[in-house]
Amino acid sequence: MNSKDCEDSAVDCGKVDYGPEHIMVVDDEAGIRRFAARTLEKLGYSARLFADAEAALSEALTGDFALVLADVHLPGHDGRWLLDQLVTAVPDVAVIMITGDRDLELALECLSRGAVEYLTKPVAPRDLAHAVGRALENRRLRLENQAHRERLEELVQERTRSLLEATRALEESHKEAIYRLSAAAEYRDEETGLHIVRMARYAAIIAEELGQDEEFVRRLLLAAPMHDVGKIGIPDAILLKPDRLTPEEFEVMKSHTLIGGRILAGSNSPLLKMAETIALTHHEKFDGSGYPRGLEGEAIPIEGRTTGLADVFDALTSRRVYKPAFPLEEALRIIESERGRHLDPRVVQAFQNRLPEILEVKKAHGDGEVAGSPLSGRAGIEYRHRLR
C-alpha cells in the first residue's frame, strides 16, 4: 500500500517513518567503494563505506541505514554471512548484493536468502541508480504495509472492544427489559421481583451442573425469568383469590403457560425461543401428569425441567400472601419425594450437588430468611392445591 492508498483507505495509515535512509557500501576494494560513494552522492544519497562484514554489521545494528550494498566476496566473513545477519537482526534494511562472478546459482542463492537485487561488476552508474531507487521504494512500500497492518490490528482491537462493550450494554438493556416484563407478571401474583432473580440463578446453576455449555447457561439465566409471563392474561379474581381454586378456576390458571407461549412465540431470537419453551413447559411433570401438554420424561425440554425445579424450590422456601415459607429441611424432603414423579431425577441430583451455591443465592437475594416454622393449616392446604 502506498501513500495514495493510505489516503483512499478507511484506515488512517498516519505518517510512516522511513528512517534517515542512509546507504552502506561494503567492499574490500577501495576503488569500488569510492565509485559507489560518488554515484550515490550525485543522486542525493548519504553513503558510508566499509571494507569488511563485521564492521558493517556493527554499524547496521544502530538502525541508521535503509540500504546495504555488499560484495559477496569479503575478507573474513563474506557477504552472504552479512546478508544472513542483516535479514535476521535488521529486517527493515534492504540488501543489494554485488559480485564479479557471473554465476546464476550464486545470484539465486543470494536472492533466496533475502537480497532484493543482485548486480555484477562492473556496475554502470545508471544501473546502480535504478537498483538503489527500486530497493528504497520497495522498502518504503514494505514499511507502509507494515504500518497499515499494525494500524488495522489496532482498529480491529478497538472495534472489538467497542463491540463487546456495546454487546454488554445491549445485554444489560435486554436483561432489564426481561426482568421488568417478568416482574410485571409476578407483581400481579403478589410475588416479589426477587423471586425471578433467585429462580433464574438456581436454574443456571443446575444447568451448569448438568453439563450444559456456557451459552446455554447464559441464555437460561435471561430466559427463565419469563416463565410466568402468561399470568398477565389471568383474571385478578382467579390470580389473587385467597381461597382454594375451583377445578374450573384452576383450568384457567393453568392456561398461563399457553398464554406465555403465545406472547413469546414467533421470534427468531434464540433467547426468546428458549423463553417460549420455558413458559410452555415449566409445569410439565416427569411422570406425564403435568400441563399443558402432559409431556413425559425427556420429552420435556431440559430448560423446562430445570426451570421447573428452580421454580418449585423457590416457591416452597418463600413467603406468599396465602402461605408462610417451608423450612429448608421440609422443602428438600418434598423435592426428594418428587424425584421421578414431578421432577426429573437427574435434575434433582444436580440441584442437590450444587445446594450450597443455591443457598448462597437464596441468602444474597432473599425476601427474608428461610422460615423456621412448618407449613400448616389452611395455608398449607391451599399451597399444596396450587402445586398440583
Q: What are the structural domain ranges in the chain? A: 3-157, 189-386
Asked whether residue 318 carries a pLDDT value surpassing 90, the answer given is no
Q: For residue range 70-129, what is the model confidence (pLDDT) as tens digits?
A: 999 898 999 999 999 999 998 889 999 998 888 888 889 989 999 998 888 888 889 999
Q: List alpha helices for the chain, DSSP H.
A: 3-8, 30-42, 53-60, 79-89, 104-112, 125-188, 193-209, 214-223, 236-239, 247-254, 256-264, 270-281, 302-316, 328-337, 345-353, 355-364, 377-386
Predicted TM-score (pTM) of this structure: 0.56
How far is CA 380 from its chain centroid? 48
Calculate the average pLDDT of the chain: 83
What percent of the chain has pLDDT above 70?
A: 81
Q: For residue range 246-260, what is the model confidence (pLDDT) as tens digits?
A: 999 999 999 999 999
Asked whether residue 16 carries a pLDDT value surpassing 70, the answer given is no
Q: For residue range 186-223, what is the model confidence (pLDDT) as tens digits?
A: 555 545 568 888 999 999 999 999 999 999 999 999 89
pLDDT at 321: 60
pLDDT at 192: 53
Are the C-beta atoms of 327 and 372 separated by less than 8 Å? Answer: yes
Q: For residue range 262-297, what is the model confidence (pLDDT) as tens digits?
A: 988 888 888 889 999 999 999 999 999 999 999 999
Give the whole-angstrom CA distance, residue 219 versus residue 207. 11
Nearest-CA neighbor of 388 among 235, 189, 244?
244
pLDDT at 376: 33
What percent of the chain has pLDDT above 90?
A: 40
Q: What is the mean pLDDT of residues 179-192?
A: 57
pLDDT band at 150 (very low <50, low <70, confident <90, very high): confident
Number of other residues whose CB lies within 10 A of the CB of residue 57: 20
CATH topology for 3-157? Rossmann fold (3.40.50)
Give the whole-angstrom CA distance, residue 6 versus residue 11. 7
* Least confident stretch, 10-14, 134-138, 226-230, 235-239: 10-14
Asked whether residue 365 carries a pLDDT value surpassing 70, the answer given is yes
pLDDT at 212: 96
Read off the C-alpha cell for 104: 546464476
Q: What are phi and psi of 41, to 5 degrees?
A: -65, -35
Are the C-beta atoms of 110 and 97 separated by less than 8 Å? Answer: yes
Q: What is the CATH number of domain 189-386?
A: 1.10.3210.10
pLDDT at 360: 94
Asked whether residue 39 carries a pLDDT value surpassing 80, the answer given is yes
pLDDT band at 372 (very low <50, low <70, confident <90, very high): very low
